[in-house]
Amino acid sequence: MDVGVIGLGVMGENLILNIEEKGFNVSIYNRTTTKTDNLIEKHKNLNLLGCKDLKSFVDSLSSPRKIILLIKSGNPVDAMIDKLVPYVNKEDVIIDAGNSFYEDTERRSLKYENIFSFLGVGISGGELGARHGPSIMVGGCKKGWEIIKPIFEKIAAKADDISCCAYFGNTSSGHFVKMVHNGIEYCEMQLLCEVYFLFKKSKLNTQKITKILKKWLKTEELESYLLEITTKILDRDDELINKVLDAASQKGTGMQCVSTALNFGSINTMMSDSVFARIISSKKTLRTVLFEKYGNKIDENIVIEENCVKNAFTLAKAVAYVQGYVFMLEVSKIKNWNINIKEVSQIWKNGCILRGGFLQTMIKMETDGILLKNDTFKQIYENGFEDLKYVLKCAIDKNLPMPCFSSALNYLNGMIIKDGSGNLIQALRDCFGSHTVQLEGSDEFVHIDWLNW
């Protein structure tokens, strides 16, 4: 058999069918054997082989053996790999294609580097992507990548006749790129929620909001999968969205992205505010109690220009992407990976949750890491900055929370100002903790006795 897949969850089953459809024979192993039997029975005409134990599973594969894991991240991945070790050798490739945290992937890469080729692979697109063509982000052993590359390039989505699959460097680069993808996804979803809420509190009904967003969807820059499914959710005749509880949840990839950015000293304010917006949302019971206590009613007599919201949304979205991309470039430089803006944007253009026209805008931007200097970004800034301020003024005046839009504005104001307030931070730290200060025009750090002069 050409390739083996372990794990028959939604992603595993759909990826198996995708691989087989592209002309490859697939061996299957699942801890619950009845799921394997059911899949084989359901698809008798396909080139699939169900295996009852790991040894027969590995033995069924042609050399070099290619094994894809699509199982729950964390300890289950370690346990499964350890069970496979007795049956594989240096020529074989084991691929963790689940949602593993990049630090776990880095640890595994080092642990198994002399036993087999290990790859950490991010797959985006959900079950439909897995079935019909996902975006695939690969990191790990270069030798292993060359072995699995022909299969991955065939099963991945295509954009401009280019496979949405790329190798970003050793160890955990693939899972890192996928993590940042998810972080940007958090931002874009939150921005869409804030747009929806703003329009809703402007006394627009769901039909009118949908009509506006459908117009946005027809523009080259704002066309996207997330905007498309937003319009479809809102466009239901039964307006089911109004019956859904206002309490969002999360699986943790956004929090991982934010904590990682903090560890590397990378600016990731919009992802952070998107994560906290979900946490605040989840406190529905507490929010209800506090509403009764404070009576913080939103003034719904908001009159706001649709085009202003569109321009503000475009700029805020651009900031989210810039922060995410700069984060990737900074870490790539530290880790000696091969992450670049053009390649990331190209493989995200189809198959993944972030697919949309804005990725073409990102391709136009420079790859030196200073994206705010780019003329493409400056044009978006000049077109949307005043509108972003106007939208937030309206929101503040009407007690309307827009944390992600606010985060975009604060980031821009903070980055574009020449002289800020960091001098006082230096002085305060030096005053109470003798942490020293750097004076203008000097490379040296000195301690000053601030309280006795």
Active site residue 103: no
356 labelled binding-site residue: no
107 labelled binding-site residue: no
Name the packing angle between helices 375-397 and 306-335 (round to 10°).
120
For residue 259, what is the enclosing H or E element? helix 253-264
287 labelled binding-site residue: no
- Cα–Cα distance measured from residue 369 to residue 379, given in angstroms and rounded to the nearest whole number: 18
Do the beta carbons of residue 408 and residue 388 sit within 8 Å?
yes
- Cα–Cα distance measured from residue 3 to residue 61, given in angstroms and rounded to the nearest whole number: 6
251 labelled binding-site residue: yes
Active site residue 106: no
Do the beta carbons of residue 24 and residue 13 sit within 8 Å?
no
447 labelled binding-site residue: no
Phi, psi of 452 (to 5 degrees): -130, 105
For residue 252, what is the enclosing H or E element? none
- Cα–Cα distance measured from residue 72 to residue 267, given in angstroms and rounded to the nearest whole number: 30
Do the beta carbons of residue 37 and residue 11 sit within 8 Å?
no
- Cα–Cα distance measured from residue 444 to residue 150, given in angstroms and rounded to the nearest whole number: 55
Do the beta carbons of residue 422 and residue 435 sit within 8 Å?
no
Options 178, 310, 317, 349, the catalytic residue:
178
Q: Ramachandran region of residue 336, left (φ > 0), alpha (ψ -120 to 50) or beta?
A: left
18 labelled binding-site residue: no
Largest CA distance in the chain: 88
182 labelled binding-site residue: yes
CA dihedral sign of residues 21, 26, 32, 34:
positive
Give the contacts of 308 (CB within 8 A, at least 6 positions apart). Answer: 387, 390, 391
- Cα–Cα distance measured from residue 427 to residue 449, given in angstroms and rounded to the nearest whole number: 10
The gap between the terminal CA atoms of the chain, to the nearest Å, is 81
Options 13, 20, 185, 188, the catalytic residue:
185
- Cα–Cα distance measured from residue 295 to residue 391, given in angstroms and rounded to the nearest whole number: 23
349 labelled binding-site residue: no
Give the single-character DSSP code of 283.
-
43 labelled binding-site residue: no
452 labelled binding-site residue: no
* Token representation of residue 73: 């991240």
Nearest 10 degrees: Cα torsion 34, 37, 43, 44: -160
163 labelled binding-site residue: no
Alpha carbon 212 to its chain's center? 26
- The annotated binding site for substrate is made up of 99, 124-126, 181-182, 186, 251, 278, 429, 435
Which residues are known catalytic residues? 178, 185
- The annotated binding site is made up of 99, 124-126, 181-182, 186, 251, 278, 429, 435
